[in-house]
Amino acid sequence: MRRATVPAIVIVVGLLLLVDLLVVNDSLGQLADVAVNAVILVAAGGALAAVAALALRRGGDVWRRRGDPVGAVLVLVGIGAMLVAGLRPGSSGPADPAVRWLITALLVPIAATLFGLLFFTTIAAARRSVAGRGRQALVLVGVAAVMLILLLPLGGEAGDRLSSAASWALDVPIAAVFRGILLGVGILVAVVAARTMLGVGSADE
């Protein structure tokens, strides 16, 4: 009974949101808004539980002196700073200047640094792929090299032509591939989720 309750709730809410998307009805829209708000509250509770679990785990690492104590201390300090900035008396929450400063001065540079390291990782992966002489790897590296050439910051008529070609490549073939991948992943996730919730296994086929 308990195993069937959660899948039934998920299926009912999913069908409700789907019908609300296809049918225009005020009462149905209000009911869908209530369901969406409930889902948001559940997700927020899950996020808070995840933060609490992370803080307890890192606190245990510091207390028992295991793992990386310096990293654990930094994680705890970061969590504490964001909580104090967002929950202190008089704070306006996410729009508070202290919260914005923490995000702009700390989180954004850290993310930019990680993306900067991604360039070197990509170059190393491309070199290994070319060394393996696989056809797919060669095609991937070749297309990436063509796109890099098209995106070169050149001026004049040549730069305009390269920019137009890059825009066309991003908007037509590359965007089509991404849409196909997203549709395929979405359908696969929906099918796997439905099979899991309904308890359908390979033995039932």
The structure tokens 């989720």 sit at 193
Range with the poorest average pLDDT among 31-45, 85-99, 134-148, 191-205: 191-205
Determine the pLDDT at residue 21: 81
Q: Which of 143, 136, 133, 135 is nearest to 174 (CA)?
A: 143
- pLDDT tens digits for range 1-60: 556 676 777 777 778 888 888 887 888 888 888 888 888 898 889 888 998 998 999 888
Global pTM exceeds 0.85: no
Is the pLDDT at 162 greater than 70? The verdict is yes
Determine the pLDDT at residue 13: 79
CA distance 195 to 192: 5
CA distance 136 to 124: 16
Two structure tokens written together for 75: 């994680």
Asked if 31 and 40 count as a contact pair (C-beta separation under 8 A), the reply is no
Determine the pLDDT at residue 201: 60
Long-range contacts of 121-124 (CB under 8 A, 24+ apart): none
| CB neighbour list of residue 149: distance below 8 Å, 6 or more residues apart | 162
Q: Which of 57, 53, 33, 55 is nearest to 45 (CA)?
A: 53
Asked if 51 and 67 count as a contact pair (C-beta separation under 8 A), the reply is no
Determine the pLDDT at residue 53: 92
- pLDDT tens digits for range 126-142: 788 777 777 777 888 88
CA distance 106 to 90: 23
Asked if 93 and 86 count as a contact pair (C-beta separation under 8 A), the reply is yes
Determine the pLDDT at residue 3: 60
Asked if 129 and 137 count as a contact pair (C-beta separation under 8 A), the reply is yes
- pLDDT tens digits for range 163-194: 888 888 888 888 898 899 988 888 888 777 77
